[in-house]
Chains A and B, each alone.
Chain A
Amino acid sequence: MAAELAPATILEAEPPRARKRARVVAYISSPVAVLVVFFLGPMGILGYMSVLKFGIAGVGGFTGLDNYRSVLTDPTFWQILWTTFTIATVAMVLMLFFALPLAYVLAFKVRRYELQLLLLLVLADQLNPLIRVYAWRTLLGREGIINSALLFTGLIHQPIESLLFSKTAVIIVSSAEYLSLATIPIYAALKAIDPAILEAADDLGAGTFTMYRKMLIPLAAPGIFVALILVYIPLFTEFLTPALVGGTSGFMVGNYIEQQILKTGNWGVGSAMSFLLLVFAVIFVAIMYKLAAINRLQSATNSDA
């Protein structure tokens, strides 16, 4: 056996280093090319524009960090950033609140139709976001389904105005939008837990709440962190949903950038804002990654338990 293997390994090792390296370069060159053309290129252009001056008279040359300075000293920007932060965070928490039990049910309870339900979840995610947001409008509107139902049952006497075109609306709609994106990594993490561990917790007296707090959340932490990273960034840069259901109070940074670029025509300030948003996102991911790395160490025991 070993004698048969030996020549093969020698053959493997035979090509010189340079050739091996050439092969690696060949393998990764096409994805790198795609990244450069479609990702780094536009980023470069954006970066270049963020240091240019745009006025009524057109492009007015290099201004250094003036655009950044004006963004950072703009109180409206900070206010909108704060709104964006609260909307994204509340939506995230709300989403986890639904994603965790959903992932739990998928991983441990449905058994028979697990795969079908999982596919359904992915499929629901493929629905055009525009159509989805419009569907929410018919639900949340003044004469929408929710208000009508509440009026009909007599729980309220006046339709709730703030359901649509508000912060609340943005939070509800955007948290529903990314639900499947958040559920799947959590589901995968839960699936890796030995069911006997949960049975042991149950056996030792853990009720539902303790089960989540002491077992499911800590053990699924790697998946939860992945979900946070996957979902928080698109939430933070959300622009379609607030535009359609946000009204004035649900105005987010994404909309501000759009307004700067498409309405005001100030490409410089808009680009600078985009870059700042990117910096915030990177900081957020870095923090999450650190936390997730710590947690990976602890739950790595899962496999050999």
Chain B
Amino acid sequence: MPEPATTSGSISGSATAEQASEALPEAAVLADHVTKRFGSSGGAAVDDVSFAVAKSEFFSLLGPSGCGKTTTLRMIAGFETPTSGRIVIEGRDASTIPVHKRNTNLVFQNYALFPHMTIAQNIAFGPERKRLPRKEVKQRVGEVLEAVHLSEYASRYPRELSGGQQQRVALARALSNRPAVLLLDEPLGALDLKLREGMQFELKRIQRDVGISFVYVTHDQGEAMTMSDRIAVMNLGKVEHLGTPEEIYLRPRTLFTAGFIGQANLLSGKVESKDSDSLIVRLDDGSAMRASAAAEGCDPGAAVAVMVRPEHLRIATNEPPGVGALPVRLVEETFQGSWSRYAAETKTGERVIVNVPSDARLERSAFDGTVWLSSDPEQAYVLPSGATAPQGDAAEPEL
């Protein structure tokens, strides 16, 4: 691996490990340098991952498929054993605790409801295993059914319910066991968009009401942003960035995170100069951009990328004075209702996306010549360009 990537990787790695050990006493879940290899020769599906989930925190593992997020979740649940490192649940090393004795419960992607049992029997399954008195089991079933608004379906069978209802039963079944941590494996993946959006708020509400930690696995960045207190962005088995949704969106630590979370224009160049409050980047096409913030490892001479979100770029038909105007040619416009999306191309062929409010749309004639893009230095953010380049599809605009 090239040097910059390994340095930035190890910096973030040690940072999260520090966070992890600091949070140890009150953490609900602690992953401590966890690695998982499948087979004897294969690469690591999860590679030295560390994080701590605080009590009653909504924590998301976000990443593309195959990034190791589900494997990490399954290690917390106990279905997989870490090759090295440990999982600590509520201060106890869980490595040797079998699945059925762990104080965690998992909501499965396809719900995995028991088809031969009624909804009430499904939900009572966990409490019954704990040998709770019949009365208490019944009370818990009633409570969680109420929480997911399915009280009148208690005596139905799973097949008689819609997908969204089954999803809520799966959630209720896991909650009825009152776990220390609730694990959710892309629980909304099988629902259609409308239902999914409704369930996002519902999940967040339930999480706030019951006050237990949620560890939520998803590949949908919007979902993670909406619900999470903190997000761990994963790629190729490693945590790329761990932080609040704002941090990850505005100050991504790596190119991968920048490209994966939301839409980002990433313009490559070299750092020309750096002073106390800003730095100037010479882009590949020769123009300069000023940015007021940068990630670690962006010293003069370093190969970097300037990240600007599409909504933070302005289009001018005449060259504006001062540093920070990028000459481009407009390629197409997509009208989106309240705003318009412009696709533009720099002289070196890099594609740039600009979102403009509808009332500021450009004349057709703007397509004929050069236009200039600019942004406030506060809205531009500089990242070291390393080996963890954004995946093509992740950087593509998402509608």
Stretch of B103-111, B194-202, B316-324 that contacts chain A:
B103-111
Is B130 on the interface with A (CB-CB < 8 A)? Answer: yes
Query: Bound state CA distance, A290 and B100, in angstroms?
Result: 35
Q: A205 touching B177 by the CB < 8 A rule?
A: yes
- Given A199-B79, A199-B112, A305-B115, the answer on whether A206 and B158 have CB atoms closer than 8 Å is no
- Contact for A305 among B113, B125, B177, CB less than 8 A: B113
- Given A200-B108, A202-B99, the answer on whether A302 and B115 have CB atoms closer than 8 Å is yes
Specify the chain A residue showing the minimal Cβ separation from B176: A204
Q: A197 touching B100 by the CB < 8 A rule?
A: no
Is B126 on the interface with A (CB-CB < 8 A)? Answer: yes
**Which B233-287 residues have a C-beta within 8 angstroms of A?**
none
Chain A: number of interface residues, binned into ranges: 20 to 34
Q: B115 touching A299 by the CB < 8 A rule?
A: yes
**Which A213-267 residues have a C-beta within 8 angstroms of B?**
214-215, 218-219
Specify the chain A residue showing the minimal Cβ separation from B79: A199
Binary CB contact string for chain B from 357 to 399 against chain A (1 if under 8 A, 0 otherwise) = 0000000000000000000000000000000000000000000
Contacts of A305 in B (CB 8 A): 110-113, 115, 158-159, 166
- Contact for A196 among B104, B112, B130, B177, CB less than 8 A: B112
Contacts of A201 in B (CB 8 A): 114, 125
* Majority DSSP secondary structure for residues of A touching B: helix
Is B116 on the interface with A (CB-CB < 8 A)? Answer: yes
Q: A205 touching B126 by the CB < 8 A rule?
A: yes
- Given A206-B100, A305-B113, the answer on whether A200 and B106 have CB atoms closer than 8 Å is yes
* Shortest CB distance A213–B (Å): 12
* Shortest CB distance B98–A (Å): 8
Is A14 on the interface with B (CB-CB < 8 A)? Answer: no
Contacts of B174 in A (CB 8 A): 203-204
Query: Bound state CA distance, A202 and B158, in angstroms?
Result: 19
**Which A279-304 residues have a C-beta within 8 angstroms of B?**
298-302, 304
Contacts of B79 in A (CB 8 A): 199, 203
Query: Bound state CA distance, A210 and B128, in angstroms?
Result: 11
Is B36 on the interface with A (CB-CB < 8 A)? Answer: no
- Given A206-B100, A214-B125, the answer on whether A200 and B130 have CB atoms closer than 8 Å is no
Contacts of A304 in B (CB 8 A): 159
Q: A203 touching B105 by the CB < 8 A rule?
A: yes
Is B157 on the interface with A (CB-CB < 8 A)? Answer: yes
Is A161 on the interface with B (CB-CB < 8 A)? Answer: no
Query: Bound state CA distance, A223 and B157, in angstroms?
Result: 21
- Given A199-B79, A301-B157, A301-B158, the answer on whether A205 and B112 have CB atoms closer than 8 Å is no
Q: A197 touching B115 by the CB < 8 A rule?
A: yes
Is A114 on the interface with B (CB-CB < 8 A)? Answer: no
Chain B: number of interface residues, binned into ranges: 20 to 34
Contacts of B78 in A (CB 8 A): 203
Contacts of A302 in B (CB 8 A): 115
Contacts of B135 in A (CB 8 A): none
**Which B155-173 residues have a C-beta within 8 angstroms of A?**
157-159, 166, 173
- Given A203-B77, A203-B100, the answer on whether A197 and B129 have CB atoms closer than 8 Å is no
**Which B102-152 residues have a C-beta within 8 angstroms of A?**
104-106, 108-116, 125-126, 129-130
Contacts between the two chains (Cβ within 8 Å), count: 80
Is A207 on the interface with B (CB-CB < 8 A)? Answer: yes
Q: B129 touching A196 by the CB < 8 A rule?
A: no
Q: A219 touching B100 by the CB < 8 A rule?
A: no
* Shortest CB distance A264–B (Å): 51
Contacts of A206 in B (CB 8 A): 100, 125, 129
Q: A205 touching B129 by the CB < 8 A rule?
A: yes
Contacts of B166 in A (CB 8 A): 305
Query: Bound state CA distance, A100 and B202, in angstroms?
Result: 42
- Given A201-B125, A205-B130, the answer on whether A301 and B159 have CB atoms closer than 8 Å is yes
- Contact for B114 among A197, A202, A203, CB less than 8 A: A197
Binary CB contact string for chain A from 87 to 123 against chain B (1 if under 8 A, 0 otherwise) = 0000000000000000000000000000000000000
Specify the chain B residue showing the minimal Cβ separation from A219: B116
Contacts of A215 in B (CB 8 A): 114
* Shortest CB distance A82–B (Å): 35
* Shortest CB distance A219–B (Å): 6
Specify the chain A residue showing the minimal Cβ separation from B130: A205
Contacts of A301 in B (CB 8 A): 115-116, 157-159
Query: Bound state CA distance, A298 and B158, in angstroms?
Result: 10
Specify the chain B residue showing the minimal Cβ separation from A196: B112
* Shortest CB distance A208–B (Å): 9
Query: Bound state CA distance, A203 and B106, in angstroms?
Result: 7
Contacts of A207 in B (CB 8 A): 100, 129
**Which A50-89 residues have a C-beta within 8 angstroms of B?**
none
Query: Bound state CA distance, A54 and B166, in angstroms?
Result: 68
Contacts of B110 in A (CB 8 A): 194, 196, 305
Query: Bound state CA distance, A194 and B111, in angstroms?
Result: 11
Query: Bound state CA distance, A137 and B275, in angstroms?
Result: 94
Task: Report which residue of A300, A301, A302 has the largest number of chain B beta carbons within 10 angstroms of its beta carbon.
Answer: A301
Q: B114 touching A200 by the CB < 8 A rule?
A: yes
Contacts of A202 in B (CB 8 A): 99-100
* Shortest CB distance A300–B (Å): 8
Query: Bound state CA distance, A210 and B99, in angstroms?
Result: 14
Query: Bound state CA distance, A219 and B104, in angstroms?
Result: 25
Contacts of B105 in A (CB 8 A): 203-204
Query: Bound state CA distance, A203 and B109, in angstroms?
Result: 14
- Given A200-B108, A210-B129, A301-B159, the answer on whether A205 and B101 have CB atoms closer than 8 Å is yes
Query: Bound state CA distance, A199 and B99, in angstroms?
Result: 9
Q: B177 touching A204 by the CB < 8 A rule?
A: yes
- Given A194-B110, A305-B110, A305-B111, the answer on whether A204 and B173 have CB atoms closer than 8 Å is yes
Contacts of A199 in B (CB 8 A): 79, 99, 106, 108, 112
* Shortest CB distance A201–B (Å): 7
The 8 closest A-B pairs by CB, nearest first: A205-B129, A301-B115, A301-B159, A196-B112, A204-B126, A200-B112, A202-B99, A205-B100
Other than A194-B110, A203-B100, give 7 A-B pairs with Cβ distance below 8 A.
A200-B114, A203-B105, A204-B125, A204-B126, A206-B100, A218-B116, A305-B115
Point out residues on A near B: beta carbons under 8 Å: 194, 196-197, 199-207, 210, 214-215, 218-219, 298-302, 304-305
Return 7 A-B CB contacts under 8 Å, by A number. Answer: A197-B112, A199-B99, A200-B106, A203-B105, A205-B100, A300-B159, A301-B159
